[in-house]
Amino acid sequence: MSVSQKLYQFLLYLTSMVLCQGHGPVSVPQRRWEGAPPYNYSPLLPNGAEITVFLFRDQPQSHYFLVKEDRSPFSVTVTPCDAALEWRLSVQEWLPHGAHRSGNPEAPRDLFTYTGNAAETYVRVSSPSALYSLQVTATQGDTRIRVYMTTSPESKPPYPELPFDPRVHVTSVGQSTVSLAWKASPSVLRFEGNIQYCLLVNQRHNFRSLCAAEAQAGLAGDPWPDLPVVSIYSEGRVMHLTRMEDLLLPSQYLSKPRSKEHKSDVLRLCIGNRNAYQVWDLQPHTLYNFDVFAVNVLTNTSSAYTGTFAKTLQRPDPSILHLKEGMMIQVNVGKDGQKFYSFRPGNWHRKVQFTFYSCGEVHVQIERNGKLVTSENTENLKHFQLKGKAKARYVVGIKSLGPSGASVKILVSTRPNKPLFPRLPHKLTLRTFDKLRTCNSVTVAWLGTREQNKYCLYKREIKEGQAEKELKKPNRCLGPETRKVSEKVRCKYFHNFNSQRAVTVEKVTGLVAGTTYLLDVYVIGHRGHSVKYQSKVVKTRKAC
């Protein structure tokens, strides 16, 4: 009998002791449940599938898996859900013939131990053919955990990869909205259709895992089965949760009626592959915690970004709204409408800069201590820099001049040397070259600045008669995060200390003959805020 066969028979023996006798080397929870137990009680770990295990406090539970061939890799990941635990990974190697009693297993040897409440992974690049055991113990109370074991960690990565900087950033805050952005998961590029981002919003704290957040939706001390992945693709569409109640468990999963104090306050939204999102319908002047998880929709595994928090703005006076230092807001001014904002610096300042980024033409006037200091019509990006005064109070008035209103981003800062927006050239126009236009390519050029910035070029096919309509759309305030990945041509960094030579040229290839395209360029500053150049419509030649 081979070593693998002996190991397999020994594993079957352990399984029979647990399932038939109810006791033995594997500690199984002994509490009774009506119907099927809502946790995994099998001592055998499946290969390449994440399972949910329920643990009772201070009752060790063991699970096993077999590595049949020598020098095989494997990895084990244990994710606590809502409490700390201890887990230990051991190997039970088979003694060769002639050593002690022939064909008997030697004493288990510990490979790895961990104590804590964070997800932890043990990886073995080369392992002997042996029986491995995972023993887990809940140290704080009854809890759920998730376990993933695979013998092919390289070919089938179990969890989505995180970028080098896995932090979630707050890009803007309003009275009822918070805008977030994070770097894309490398797994999105490799498995775009299988990976999406899920966002969690709550008023308690940040979560280290999606499992920990889901545990908040259950009754304290009561186990519950895995929820289906909320908002995962349904018939090709992405569903969004807009109510906290949508995350509550179905009544058939509960062992007793749910009381109000157990009601979930965790909002879960799954948003596809976008790595920027604006959360809305929040309460003013309220602190919220935000967590982002990259989720593999096929395996239901997830990786947690480093969460963040933000406090929404307080609802100001209905007639004059208050601006905060360094906090960007976005407002909509209706046709012939007018809005007023006030700003009072917290301390003495040399300069104050008001920045307006407008989609549509507006009239801006600024008063200081009741005296008018500037009044001007503006469109696109405009900075107004004023000298500071002690105990100054500024009042800003914005009036829409366009036929359909305007959307305006407003930022005020007493430290204008640290701009949030990139510096711009004197012209934001794109130029194409007719002599370089072919059946499947066009060449476009635009101006840059002495400051190095990131420029991203996008193309989109449009119908021949829609060119004028597309050019008149008031969408200049929208950033590249609103564009489809398939529309991106490329991004590049560019600058030239000689402003007269700060010109860059890009050739767009792979186009269709006789087709009209809309070209857009975004310049992105160091803090992530972008400004859009004027759109350009170009048509490829029909015949070459």
In the chain, the domains with their CATH numbers are 3-150 (2.60.120.680), 168-311 (2.60.40.10), 321-413 (2.60.120.680), 431-539 (2.60.40.10)
Amino acid at 503: V
Q: With 80 as the cut, is the pLDDT of residue 355 above it?
A: yes
The per-residue pLDDT for 180 is: 96
Q: What is the pLDDT of residues 271-284, one digit of tens each?
A: 988 999 999 889 98
- pLDDT band at 35; cut points 50, 70, 90: very low
C-alpha to C-alpha distances, 126 to 153, 159, 344, nearest whole angstrom = 12, 21, 65
Q: Quote the pLDDT of residue 317.
A: 57
pTM: 0.44
3-state secondary structure of 112: strand
Residue 186 three-state SS = helix
Take residue 162 and report the two structure tokens written for it: 């995180």
How many C-beta atoms surround the C-beta of residue 218 within 10 A? 23
* d(C-alpha 317, C-alpha 25), whole Å: 68
Whether the CB-CB separation of 210 and 217 falls below 8 Å is answered with: no
pLDDT tens per residue, range 297-324 = 887 788 999 999 999 887 655 567 888 8
The pLDDT value recorded for residue 493 is: 92
For tokens 């539970």, what's the residue? 61
Q: What's the pLDDT tens digit per position in 455-493? A: 999 999 998 878 777 776 666 677 888 889 999 999 999
Q: What is the DSSP letter of 389?
A: -
476-480: list long-range contacts, CB under 8 Å, 24+ apart.
Answer: 476/359, 476/380, 476/531, 476/532, 477/330, 477/357, 477/358, 477/359, 477/407, 477/408, 477/409, 477/532, 478/359, 478/532, 479/276, 479/522, 479/529, 479/530, 479/532, 480/456, 480/522, 480/524, 480/530
As a whole number of angstroms, the distance between CA 188 and CA 296 comes to 10
**In Å, how far from its chain's centre is CA 87?**
29
Tokens representing 114 are 């961990």
Express the helix, strand and coil content of the chain in percent, nearest 5 each: 10, 40, 45
